[in-house]
């Protein structure tokens, strides 16, 4: 039964993200979003740790100290800022771990992903503030490039303050602007 419920949850999430990506003109990303969740290394761990109200990765992490499903997932899905963590070189030559700047199309997909995840896991409790509030809780202790962090924060703030239609208009305008001026 857990396998069916987990399958329904991840499929519902993918359908929402696909719908949102299509609204932004990101058709390929919408079609391919999170396909790795159906791979054996992610799917069966998701079934084992399925709870229905939050990511199974959290339960796996609590039990084992690490989520192998998440490590697999984040390494294959560019819409996660964790995909973009690498060694960085400071102006003084020192090397440190940090977030690399994400391309706009993946930040836009992350925006869609965060809305869909909140809708799936929060159900009737979801509001346009949900994704922003969730992001703000983690903002001070994650390795995300400052510009990427500001950008996703702004997208989610528009959602919170002005609603879904305005937020998608805002993100669509950013994508259009980048297309007209690709060196930006």
Q: What is the pLDDT of residue 179?
A: 86
Find, among 106, 86, 98, the residue nearest to 155 by Cα.
Answer: 106
The stretches in the chain having pLDDT less than 50 are none
Judge whether 152 and 111 are in contact, CB under 8 Å: yes
Distance, CA of 28 to CA of 21 (rounded, Å): 9
Q: What is the pLDDT of residue 83?
A: 98
pTM attached to this predicted model: 0.94
Tokens of 149: 């962090």
82, with CB counted inside 10 A (0-12, 13-18, 19+), is middle
Opening angle at CA 145, ends 140 and 149, nearest 5: 60
């Amino acid at each position: 039964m857990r396998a069916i419920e987990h399958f329904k949850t991840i499929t519902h999430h993918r359908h929402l993200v696909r719908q949102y990506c299509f609204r932004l003109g990101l058709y390929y990303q919408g079609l391919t979003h999170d396909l790795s969740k159906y791979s054996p290394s992610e799917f069966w761990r998701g079934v084992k740790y399925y709870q229905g109200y939050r990511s199974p990765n959290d339960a796996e992490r609590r039990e084992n100290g690490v989520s192998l499903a998440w490590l697999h997932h984040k390494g294959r899905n560019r819409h996660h800022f964790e995909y973009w963590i690498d060694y960085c070189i400071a102006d003084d030559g020192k090397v440190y771990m940090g977030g690399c700047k994400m391309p706009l199309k993946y930040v836009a997909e992350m925006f869609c992903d965060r809305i869909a995840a909140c809708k799936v896991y929060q159900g009737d409790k979801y509001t346009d503030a949900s994704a922003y509030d969730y992001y703000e809780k983690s903002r001070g202790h994650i390795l995300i490039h400052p510009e990427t962090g500001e950008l996703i924060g702004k997208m989610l703030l528009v959602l919170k303050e002005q609603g879904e239609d305005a937020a998608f208009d805002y993100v669509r305008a950013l994508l259009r602007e980048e297309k007209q001026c690709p060196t930006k």
